[in-house]
Structure 1
Amino acid sequence: MRIIYRQHAIKRMHERCISEIDVEQAIETGTIIEAYPNDTPYPSALLLGHAGNKAVHVVYADSVDEDIRIIITVYEPNPEIWLEDLKTRR
C-alpha cells in the first residue's frame, strides 16, 4: 500500500519533529484505537504505534480501491488528553 501525506500531516510532522520513518514504524507496530467508519471520502482510523521509544498517534484513511493510505495527521499523545495507556481519552 502506497502512503500519501496530506499537507496538514507534513506541516504537523515538521512542527513536532516526527519523521516519515517514525510514521512508518508507528504504522508497522500500531493498533487501531478509534475507528471512524463514516468519514468521507474514505473511512479513517486513529492508530497508536511506536517509533523507537516514542509513542505516536497517526490518523489515516485507506482507499482500498486505489491501494493508498492517506496520512491525515500525526502527533505524540498528550497525557492531559490521554490516559496512561495512550489509548483511552480522559
Structure 2
Amino acid sequence: MINIDTLRTYYTIDAVFTTQHSTRRFRERGIQMRDIKNALFTGTIIEQYEDDFPFPSCLICGLSLKGIPLHVVMSDEGGASRIITAYFPDHKNWDETYTMRKKG
C-alpha cells in the first residue's frame, strides 16, 4: 500500500517525475506543477491501485492553489514517484467531497 508521507518525501527530495505526455495534458487542463504539489501536500489518498503495472499507484484528492479540488494519480517506484495524470474531477462522477465515486 502506498503511503502519502512517502510520496511527500519523494517530492521533497526532488524524486518525482513526469512524462512529456502528462506535462502536456496538465497544461491543456490549466494545471501547474505548483497545483499538483499543493494537492499532494493538502490531500489524502482516496484509491489504491496496487496491481498497476509496472508500479503500484494511487489517486490523491487535494486542492489546487486556488482551492479547487484536484485529483492526482502517482506511482510509488521504490525511491521515486511518477505523476501519471492530474485532473479537476467532474461532479457528475464524484460525491460532493470528490473523494467517492458515484455509483451508476
Q: TM-score, normalised by structure 1?
A: 0.91
Note the alpha carbon deviations across 1:15-44, whole angstroms, 9 max, x for none: 111100100111111100000001111100
Q: Does 1:50 align with 2:59?
A: no
* Identity among equivalent pairs (%): 38
Unaligned runs of 5+ in 1: none
CA RMSD of the aligned region, Å?
1.0
Structure 2 gap ranges (5+):
1-9
Q: Greater strand share, 1 or 2?
A: 1
TM-score, length basis structure 2: 0.80
Matched, 1:36 2:49: yes
SS of structure 1 residue aligned to 2:73:
strand
Aligned mates of 2:30, 2:77 — CA distance in 1: 27
Point out which structure has higher relative CO (alpha carbons under 8 A, 6+ apart): 1
Deviations 1:26-83 (A, max 9, x none): 111110000000111110000001123111100110111xx21100000001001111
The amino acid of 1:87's aligned partner reads T
The count of corresponding residues between Structure 1 and Structure 2 is: 88
For 2:21 and 2:46, the matched residues in 1 are separated by 21
Give, as a single letter, the amino acid of the residue that structure 1 aligns with 2:72: V
Tell me, in whole angstroms, the C-alpha distance in 2 between the residues paired with 1:30 and 1:6: 22
